[in-house]
Amino acid sequence: MTNAPRRVLAVAAALGGAALFYYALSRAGVDEIAAGVRRVGWGLLPILALAGARFMLRTQCWRLCMPPASRLRVPQAFAAFLAGDAVGNVTPLGMAASEPVKVFLTRHRLATRESVASLAVDNLVYAASVATVVALGVLVVLITVPLPFEWREAAIVALVGMMAGALIALRLLRGTWSEASGQRPPWRERLASLRQSVLQFSAGHPERLWGVFALHLTFHALAVFEVFLTLRWLLGDGSVTLGQAVVFEALNRVVTVLFKFVPFRVGVDEALSGALAPLLSVQPVAGVTLAVVRKARNLFWTGVGLLFIAYPVRGAPATDRP
């Protein structure tokens, strides 16, 4: 995609998100949302702290995917990860922007080939963890929400589709291209490179691959806890359930993946969270306010990430210690 279409996409995504944001806030009520934010109050501090802990977990996952002899120290890796995430948030390019930033900021301490390979393995395992959380969210809905038959049927189809997609992905990673078919197309070359990185990593460190997956699941568990706490403060009672928090976070993961081209997912997150809320016996204004609080958290940590771009973290070269 050339620069001109990218600029058009960025402008269209920003304008569409802003319009959807205005619609979601108007429908829920600005005064009610403001009142909900005030109820959260100082609770924003533990929300920010939980987000920081989650970023640290993602950083450690990335470090565990690096060769032990050239692994970055935590401060440099944490700063690079935050900076990359910040760029992915403020541009419509998503991972196409965030991952090169991480590679660029670590170029003096980690070989480009090792940086790219470690990010590829980490993102693949992260994608598997996201699929697990989304599938769990769909299961919770099927078990706890009295859906109309058509909706229940659609949820089951979606769940089966995710399982089929996972099997297809595993099959592709095993390799399906025959040398007799000639030269691989570019996307096949990239897939082959990813497969080689994963095979090398899993063959040398099979236990670490599962450790990375477990840390990613912990990342999602902290996100569910954050949603649970935020809803408790917003609703002011003990009616919030863990299942509701799981479903809201599953929706957040879907929104993050599908609408990464919308900066900060402005409008999309608010509209969909507000629409989901009644299905979970939660007031729509609480769903919209939950997304607004999440937006404030994202803005804070994006600001920190942009500061790391302006003022890179200096330190010693890579170490062979975990």
Residue 12, token pair as written in the block: 């269209």
90 Cβ neighbours under 8 A, 6+ residues apart: 263, 264, 302, 306
Classify burial at 212, counting beta carbons within 10 Å of its beta carbon; exposed 0-12, middle 13-18, buried 19 or more.
buried
Please report the pLDDT score of residue 307 as a whole number. 93
What is the pLDDT at residue 85? 93
Question: What pLDDT, on a 0 to 100 scale, did the predictor assign at position 314?
Answer: 65
- Point out the residues of the chain with pLDDT beneath 50: 316-322
Q: At 287, list the tokens.
A: 């769903």
pLDDT at 319: 44
Please give the model's pTM, rounded to 2 decimal places: 0.85
Domain boundaries, the chain: 8-310
pLDDT of residue 175: 55
Using alpha carbons, list the distances in angstroms from residue 23 to 26, 28, 80, 251.
Answer: 5, 9, 35, 19
Which residues face 71 on adjacent strands? 319
The full length of the chain comes to 322
